Chains A and B, each alone.
Chain A
């Protein structure tokens, strides 16, 4: 069963638009961790943010913000005033003890294209 669902396969926006990438997760553990990674065309995975299950505070980092809501099992990511350099594939990932021993379980990713 898919543990992390990123329903948006591809999103295309024009520069300076705001865009939200959705992430819904599923777990039975009370302790778990959520992550967002960026993967540009070069292939490396760039860490963006980590949240543990006991910290529902939303976070803002520059143009990036994250909304963690346990009630809806969602961990959404918003880019404000998007830029061409934001074009990449973005992965939401879950880490839980479960059957995977805290290995990261990735969603299918959302490919974001920002055009000038």
Chain B
């Protein structure tokens, strides 16, 4: 299995909702990442997990809460988001030898 699977593909949520994005890989990669991409912008790094531990948090607001339950799974818990958080959220795994990206979750906050 050489894919990173992200669910859901699309999500519309209200500002008071709580939702979670999921990411799964079975390539044995021990580093996993969350990126946020706004329209016409590059992907911006949010979090890095290395060996299931959070190693980098790029000053992301606390309304985004990452979780790595095991080496294959990465979650992003969302709570009290703002409309400006609407974006494509990409998950990736790998290291300098190569990265695999999921197809992303397109999030709309209303």
| Residues of A that sit less than 8 Å from B by CB | 31-33, 35, 43-45, 47, 50, 52, 91, 95, 100-109, 111
Contact = CB atoms under 8 A, between A and B. Distances in A.
- B interface, by DSSP: helix, strand, loop or mixed? strand
A83 to B, nearest CB: 23
Contacts of B33: 103-104
Interface range on chain B (Cβ under 8 Å from partner)? 20 to 34
Interface in B87-110: 88, 90, 92, 95-99, 101, 103-104, 106
A102 B95 contact: yes
Contact of A103 (B41, B56, B88, B103): B56
A52 B95 CA distance: 12
Contacts of B104: 43-44
* Interchain residue pairs A-B with the least CB separation, the first 8: A106-B42, A33-B96, A45-B101, A95-B96, A44-B103, A103-B45, A102-B95, A103-B48
Nearest to B103: A44
